[in-house]
Chains A and B, each alone.
Chain A
């Protein structure tokens, strides 16, 4: 097992190298000169331009810029944003906020999605099942910002039950509505995935055998149906944490949460190479780690999937 974990971690290295290279190439290919943008509509003196280019290595060829970034990053130096603040500091401020938000969303979608999906699967074809299927379709079809603004209007502005925007105080209770909005789409997927899986498992051989042994419905459903149905759901949830952190851009914008999504948004607007690459690298890292955890969970859920 340890060897397996080690190997997976080593595999992450080429993934990170490749992704930073690609992101750097894309930032480099973005049209327009960041220095011109920095000065707005005012002219830039050549002397000032060369000074700034040197400072941010913008005068060097693309490959050299990337290697310099990598070299510094390996030593823990992620560079400086145009605002003069170290990128590592910006990440340290924003990652915890977004992680908290994404984790809450994950718990909400996981718990609600599995519970509702499980029940819908058991009561296939009944009212609850049909309602959930229609509702989940609706949730998937409507863009997330529509839900975001609607919830903000209803719970924040009209009813006053929740803060309209989160701002600096990102405490658990203030994040509930944003986390719910963020997790809503994934909730629909988790529900559908669980339901289908439960329906399939209900007619599986091992479930029939379990019933034949004389186990009660509850025991069968919990131990044999649910546990086996969770495998695809766990895969989905694992990969989803990464998606949630990246997808927080919209939700963080609506609820004004100072997290990773907002940071990424601003960095892209200002074409700040080091910041964009660092934010994306963090997101890639999260994906890599989550897929490792998913694989380990597999082995626990289904002993047949053991690694050699």
Chain B
């Protein structure tokens, strides 16, 4: 997951994505006059990369946007999240455990070929403890790593990776996983050229990739200039003359630049413009469903929140929340009430999963459920929801939510602020938080599974509430070895269990709220809520 550590917080990540892309600009700028040009350079909002531009070490949006344009992986994703082979000629397995990957003839922009070694060495580099790479977590499914994806015993090579010949390698997983190929379009799995390993620090400043663009210039704190890579022969071919990310520390000033026509695309309208951007005549506005979700996690260790009593209380809380009111009044409709634990953009999304009615506001039902729980053991004390104050808007919605609980359940509920995201996460990871807290998820690859496995699986890395349910685990692992509709069905069944146990209360998904300058065309958002930069023209 890529985090916008700063403003972001949690998951509040930015918004973005969409299939149904609704341009709500007032129109009138459709000139059809052929002003569209394939050599126009597109300027886009960006932030200074927080780390050197190394694929295995870039886990935030600023650097991630650049990395995704200058590298190509084994597979690529279409805007709707379905995947296509990119460098891979084939990715095959008989048992979903040992995968054989064959490569096409591609090369890096320095002319060296992309080989099996390019992948194996890059991944081993990313997973070795001594390199302390921020994306190491992503290698955890591969044999030879610990639960956090780092190579066991401070080793430098994963036992699960084997080069067969120059264009073939083999990946052995810890457990069978039918979805494994879906992960491979993520940046942690990109290849690195031989030049990278000679001096990784220097390479991070001037990376050599194999993607639709090459990085011409990275001027620190100012901009990253990319031009199309003529040698690229993948699925994401550049339809413009280049992309330049201009770096900002303040999205408000980027918005002003879009208004004045100095910046072509801003993928997250600043909070100050959320109420006005749709009616602003000086920009094109985009709004659509998004993949990032927001939840409140109630740890299993909290008094009165385990067992049958706990389930009743969790359901009561969920029913006591009027999601529609909060998304309308506090977020001005820029978030949509949750329909499940994932997002409707995911290919296996199923509407109306049995049990999902707990997401509907019903104060009477909520009171009844709470009373039933009280009959088992009376509730005393407060229900506290923790949040980080540095995330924009967190205070407002947490206050609104606890007020609703107060009014609708007649219990003592209150918010608790932590100054920073780091502080909140520290309390969560060392399990000393002692209250419910806000959480959220941005998918790493397009599948409902990605919202369930890493977050609610027993002992999973991001299972912050220590939820554990054997039946749920079983359905997940069955889903992983199934395919297509069968998999979607198993994932829906798994969610059915979640709706009963409610380890986290789903709240809403963050919508895409983006703007583009007048005259900019083909702005389309993908399942990750990011613009498909290579398609934008003007």
Contact = CB atoms under 8 A, between A and B. Distances in A.
A38 interface: yes
B5 A167 contact: no
Given A37-B420, A253-B250, A258-B221, A48 B150 contact: yes
B130 A45 contact: no
A41 B420 contact: no
A40 B1 CA distance: 8
Given A47-B154, A256-B248, A167 B421 contact: no
Contacts of B462: 41-43
A169 to B, nearest CB: 9
B132 A149 contact: no
Given A31-B422, A42-B461, A262 B256 contact: no
Interface string B118-134: 00000000000111111
A137 interface: no
A83 B52 CA distance: 6
Contacts of A94: 221
Residue from A30, A45, A255 whose CB has the most chain B CB atoms within 10 Å: A45
Given A40-B2, A44-B148, A269-B6, A165 B257 contact: yes
Interface string B159-190: 00000000000000000000000000000000
Contact of A270 (B5, B260, B423): B5
A96 to B, nearest CB: 13
Interface residues of B, number: 65
B137 A152 contact: no
A254 to B, nearest CB: 6
A55 interface: yes
Contacts of A31: 418-420, 422-423, 426
Most chain A C-beta atoms within 10 Å of own C-beta, residue among B132, B220, B257: B132
B257 A164 contact: yes
Nearest to A168: B222
B134 A167 contact: no
Interface stretch (A153-161, A179-187, A291-299): A153-161
Interface stretch (B43-51, B70-78, B492-500): B43-51
Determine which residue in B136, B418, B424, B462 has the highest number of CB atoms from chain A within 10 A of its CB, and name it: B136
B223 interface: yes
A45 B146 contact: yes
Chain A interface residue count: which class?
A: 35 or more
Nearest to B248: A256
A33 B461 contact: no
Nearest to B10: A41
Nearest to B262: A164
A168 B223 contact: yes
B259 A51 contact: no
Contact of A167 (B131, B223, B423, B429): B223
A259 to B, nearest CB: 9
A162 to B, nearest CB: 10
B249 A156 contact: no
B60 A40 contact: yes
B249 A256 contact: yes
B246 interface: yes
A265 interface: yes
B424 to A, nearest CB: 7
A30 B423 CA distance: 9
A93 to B, nearest CB: 6
A231 B270 CA distance: 45
Contacts of B276: none
Given A41-B3, A164-B262, 8 more contacts: A30-B420, A32-B424, A39-B137, A45-B149, A85-B220, A160-B260, A165-B248, A266-B6
- The 3 A-B residue pairs whose C-beta atoms are closest, nearest first, are A32-B422, A40-B3, A168-B222
Interface of B: 1-3, 5-6, 10-11, 48-52, 59-60, 129-134, 136-137, 146-150, 154, 201, 204, 219-223, 246-250, 252-254, 256-257, 259-260, 262, 282, 390, 418-426, 429, 439-441, 461-462
